[in-house]
Amino acid sequence: MISETMKPFVEGGSAIRAMFEEGKRMAKERGAENVFDFSIGNPGLKPPQEVYDAIDEINHNLDPLYVHGYPSNAGYESTRTVVADNLNERAGGDYFDIDHIIMNCGAAYGVNMILRCITNPGDKMAVFAPYFVEYGNWAGNWGVDTIVVPANEDLDFDPDAEALRKMLVPEVKAVLINNPNNPTGKIYTREALNAVADVLREAEEKFGHTIYLICDEPYRELVYDGSEVPFPGSYYDDSLIVYSWSKSLSMPGDRIGYVAVPKCAEGHKELADALIIAGRILGGTNGPTIQELIVERCLTSKSDIDYYKKNAHDLYEIVTGAGFKCIYPQGAFYMWIKSPVPDEFEFVKAAKEEGILITPGSGFDGPGWARAAFCGKNDMIHRSKESWYKVGRKFGLID
Amino acid sequence: MISETMKPFVEGGSAIRAMFEEGKRMAKERGAENVFDFSIGNPGLKPPQEVYDAIDEINHNLDPLYVHGYPSNAGYESTRTVVADNLNERAGGDYFDIDHIIMNCGAAYGVNMILRCITNPGDKMAVFAPYFVEYGNWAGNWGVDTIVVPANEDLDFDPDAEALRKMLVPEVKAVLINNPNNPTGKIYTREALNAVADVLREAEEKFGHTIYLICDEPYRELVYDGSEVPFPGSYYDDSLIVYSWSKSLSMPGDRIGYVAVPKCAEGHKELADALIIAGRILGGTNGPTIQELIVERCLTSKSDIDYYKKNAHDLYEIVTGAGFKCIYPQGAFYMWIKSPVPDEFEFVKAAKEEGILITPGSGFDGPGWARAAFCGKNDMIHRSKESWYKVGRKFGLID
């Protein structure tokens, strides 16, 4: 009774989630203290204090009919106003009015809303490997195939604009990028993004239709060592931003985010209106109201970056000390580790035997590598050291 | 740049929402006290006290990583356990384990999840007029056409099983009903539901595939005068329940609900697993966590039914006193009013001129009638009396 269009998704499941469930099972078997779970991006930090204060204020000082009733389908005007102002300040220009901000239940939902509005079945969406595995599923909801531009290690995992150029076909209506990147922890360079923008402008001209660059930016605020994430509108007009507070406020269970359509994007007004309708008819409608009112009050708050930075540093020391090669993260909370053998499933299996849960790169179309999420507790990272060294020794990387 | 598959939805907009926005405009123009807005189901009641207490407990006494982190994709086990227990008690049998409950961001999202799982583009879904206008949009997301079984006034707006029988074709994979009904305020009789079930069983046999009866039950607890809503599994095995706490706890902005798959439904295990994946890849994933934890604590709480009952009574007195014929609501918070002229838009327009906002029945495929939502404040109902009488006089219904 499961439809043909759903079956592949049921069979595919999620490698990350499977590892997460496996971790829960292992914790029961060998004791939670002997399992080092680097599989899922579930923040080990609690939200900043401002979030708790906001909840108290919302629960006790605001009109309940306002808090729990229907806002406009796009969300509260007050929330969208501060989001628009904040984005304009960030962008250094007048890119957004409140009509350009559509609140919703997170970035995944936001990408679905966009694809609902701009694609027909048979269209295509391009992504750069390695990429968050769900992207293909979100496109698949709409009968949209994903074109995967291969990862380029020579470019240090920056998006490969030349490879994109060769793979673009008229059916491509969108390119989806994730910056800072999950799973590599890399921030794409402005040069690489400019090159991608050049290719897209050329293709728009050639094919005679708009190609939107969907910028999935949940990790935008989680950057280290003074790195910065370029504002998409500064390098490509037809860009759309999807955002979630899951990471910046450590509240992924709360399902709160937005889509922002900058004024420089083709048909911005018409598209923003369509997005409001898509948000409604897909059933999420506005983002959950308590959470909208929380983020309105906590827009300049964020999780303790230094916590993740220290985790990045400490895990890097341990993993490289155990003989592995990996990318030092500039943002997000993922470390991209090169498998010591071509088949990274062998590496992941060996790690699991020592209680370390990491995700095979093939799940991100990045075979030969694996991802370690370091958003958990710092002491788990330190306790995992001996296990990492055992794995390193198993592959003859260290004595 | 809006896709062909999205354009009809953008053009369609929402009649209810349009009226809602019109109401805000009119309130600015002539003063809020001179606008009587019966257009939208935005509860005029605040949530019961238990909701506020639950929020305090969640914010101050629970582990923040538990409250704001990712639960399982289907939602918290603790929440699903109490929901399953509550449904079993209600149904008087062992219909649900926790694996049969998938938490999500509301009933609209739930129907989308189900259609994502059981339909292919080109399939059809049947509904009984009059019905909530969004149903067609939810089906349209998945390339599924809606077959509308006409309203039957002779059956007192019960679903017309015989008419359904004649309209069923092999492409129909689902029938969607709403009980208690929006917009009529009617609770379908057990006899009518049994007749529908007979027709569906016959069609399953004839066409050789499952036809799910999707039961949209957000108003299940809002029933008056001892009326009861039959548990779907008691009359049809292949039934699925979608629920939202929007109405029973007066928190429609909070986006919290579930899909429940009873064990009597064909392929219940496989379908429940697929629904979890659909919930995830459509982007809503679990229901928002604060809200999951609220409803877990408030499962036996509900809004003040007597408030709505009084509203129903008072509005009925006024509207019939002004000469209109209408259905006395057994549940939900809508009154279904017969237009005094064949074209109900004329009636709706005349009402608007007196400051009364009601929704044309055509928006529900119920032409010749109009819907008045009476979930607002009681004093607004009383203040609207003179205006209703003016409209009645305009159509010559009273002197």
Q: Which residues of B touch A119 (CB under 8 A)?
A: 3, 5
Sign of CA dihedral B120, B121, B123, B125: positive
Sign of CA dihedral B361, B362, B366, B369: positive
Which of B290, B302, B377 would you mutate first to test chain A, the one with the most A CBs within 10 A? Answer: B290
Rounded to an integer, what distance in angstroms lies between the CA atom of residue A332 and that of residue A220? Answer: 8
Last residue of a domain, one of B263, B279, B297: B297
Residue B16 has pLDDT above 70, yes or no: no
Residue B186 has pLDDT above 80, yes or no: yes
Chain segment A268-322, per-residue pLDDT in tens: 999 999 999 999 999 998 899 999 999 999 999 988 899 999 999 999 999 999 9
Looking at the structure, tell me whether residues A201 and A79 fall in a common domain.
Answer: yes
Q: How many domains are there within chain B?
A: 2
Contact B288 A253 (CB under 8 A): yes
Looking at the structure, tell me whether residues A70 and A107 fall in a common domain.
Answer: yes
Which of B63, B65, B249, B298 would you mutate first to test chain A, the one with the most A CBs within 10 A? Answer: B65
Helix H or strand E segment including B138 = helix B134-140
Chain A closest-CA separation from residue B91 CA (Å): 24
Q: Which residue of A has its CA nearest to B70?
A: A253
Q: Which residues of A touch B111 (CB under 8 A)?
A: 283
Tell me what pLDDT residue B22 has: 79
Per-residue confidence at B210, pLDDT binned at 50, 70, 90?
very high
CATH no. for residue B107?
Answer: 3.40.640.10
Per-residue confidence at A16, pLDDT binned at 50, 70, 90?
low
Looking at the structure, tell me whether residues B18 and B139 fall in a common domain.
Answer: no
* Interacting residues of B392 by C-beta distance below 8 A, sequence separation 6+: B322, B323, B324, B340, B398
Chain segment A329-348, per-residue pLDDT in tens: 999 999 999 999 999 999 99
Chain B closest-CA separation from residue A15 CA (Å): 13
Q: Domain for residue B187, yes or no?
A: yes
Q: Taking each helix axis from N to C terminus, what angle separates B77-91 and B289-297, rounded to the nearest 10 degrees?
A: 40
Q: Domain for residue B137, yes or no?
A: yes
Q: Which residue of B has its CA nearest to A377?
A: B65
Per-residue confidence at B13, pLDDT binned at 50, 70, 90?
low
Residue B17 has pLDDT above 80, yes or no: no
Tell me what pLDDT residue B1 has: 82
* Interacting residues of A91 by C-beta distance below 8 A, sequence separation 6+: A231, A233, A234, A262
Give the distance, in angstroms, between the CA of residue A270 and the centroid of all CA atoms in the same chain: 26
Chain segment A150-185, per-residue pLDDT in tens: 999 999 999 999 999 999 999 999 999 999 999 999
Which of A2, A113, A116, A270 would you mutate first to test chain B, the one with the most B CBs within 10 A? Answer: A2
Which of B70, B99, B261 would you mutate first to test chain A, the one with the most A CBs within 10 A? Answer: B70
The pair of three-digit structure tokens given for residue A230, joined into one six-digit string: 């370029």
Q: Domain for residue A133, yes or no?
A: yes
Q: Which residues of A touch B51 (CB under 8 A)?
A: 68
Share of chain B above pLDDT 90, in %: 87
Across A95-99, average pLDDT? 97
Per-residue confidence at B41, pLDDT binned at 50, 70, 90?
confident
Cα–Cα distances (Å) from A349 to A214, A312, A386, in that order, read 35, 23, 17
Q: Domain for residue B399, yes or no?
A: no
Chain segment B103-162, per-residue pLDDT in tens: 999 999 999 999 999 999 999 999 999 999 899 999 999 999 999 999 999 999 999 999
Q: Which residues of A touch B60 (CB under 8 A)?
A: 52
B369-373 vs B359-360, strand pairing mode: antiparallel
Chain segment B238-267, per-residue pLDDT in tens: 999 999 999 999 999 999 999 999 999 999
Chain B closest-CA separation from residue A325 CA (Å): 30
Give the distance, in angstroms, between the CA of residue A329 and the centroid of all CA atoms in the same chain: 15
CA angle, B58 as apex, B55 and B64 as ends, to 5°? 140
Chain B closest-CA separation from residue A378 CA (Å): 15
Looking at the structure, tell me whether residues A39 and A85 fall in a common domain.
Answer: no
Q: Domain for residue B312, yes or no?
A: yes
Contact status, residue B368 vs residue B338, Cβ threshold 8 Å: yes
Looking at the structure, tell me whether residues B330 and B284 fall in a common domain.
Answer: no
Last residue of a domain, one of A297, A320, A340: A297
Per-residue confidence at B14, pLDDT binned at 50, 70, 90?
low
CA angle, A331 as apex, A326 and A332 as ends, to 5°? 95
Rounded to an integer, what distance in angstroms lies between the CA atom of residue B213 and that of residue B241? Answer: 9
Chain B closest-CA separation from residue A103 CA (Å): 12
Contact B5 A253 (CB under 8 A): no
Q: Which residue of B has its CA nearest to A266?
A: B1
Q: Which residue of B has its CA nearest to A107?
A: B283
Contact A65 B46 (CB under 8 A): yes
What number is the ipTM of this complex?
0.94
Chain A closest-CA separation from residue B342 CA (Å): 30
Chain segment A27-52, per-residue pLDDT in tens: 888 898 899 999 887 788 999 999 99
CATH no. for residue A335?
Answer: 3.90.1150.10
Tell me what pLDDT residue B281 has: 95
Residue B227 has pLDDT above 90, yes or no: no
Q: Which residues of A touch B209 (CB under 8 A)?
A: 1
* Interacting residues of B390 by C-beta distance below 8 A, sequence separation 6+: B354
Q: Domain for residue A1, yes or no?
A: no
Rounded to an integer, what distance in angstroms lies between the CA atom of residue B75 and that of residue B78? Answer: 9
Which is nearest to B108 in space by CA: B272, B243, B264? B243
Last residue of a domain, one of A264, A297, A330: A297
Per-residue confidence at B228, pLDDT binned at 50, 70, 90?
confident
Looking at the structure, tell me whether residues A18 and A63 fall in a common domain.
Answer: no
Domain that holds residue B176: 49-297
Which is nearest to B372 in space by CA: B360, B383, B382? B360
Looking at the structure, tell me whether residues B147 and B225 fall in a common domain.
Answer: yes
Q: Domain for residue A131, yes or no?
A: yes
Per-residue confidence at B69, pLDDT binned at 50, 70, 90?
very high
Looking at the structure, tell me whether residues A271 and A336 fall in a common domain.
Answer: no
Looking at the structure, tell me whether residues A311 and A232 fall in a common domain.
Answer: no
Rounded to an integer, what distance in angstroms lies between the CA atom of residue A296 and that of residue A85? Answer: 11
Residue A20 has pLDDT above 90, yes or no: no
B239-244 vs B212-216, strand pairing mode: parallel
Looking at the structure, tell me whether residues A74 and A166 fall in a common domain.
Answer: yes
Three-state secondary structure call for residue A104: strand
Rounded to an integer, what distance in angstroms lies between the CA atom of residue A341 and that of residue B7? Answer: 50
Looking at the structure, tell me whether residues B64 and B199 fall in a common domain.
Answer: yes
Q: Domain for residue B1, yes or no?
A: no
Looking at the structure, tell me whether residues B122 and B267 fall in a common domain.
Answer: yes
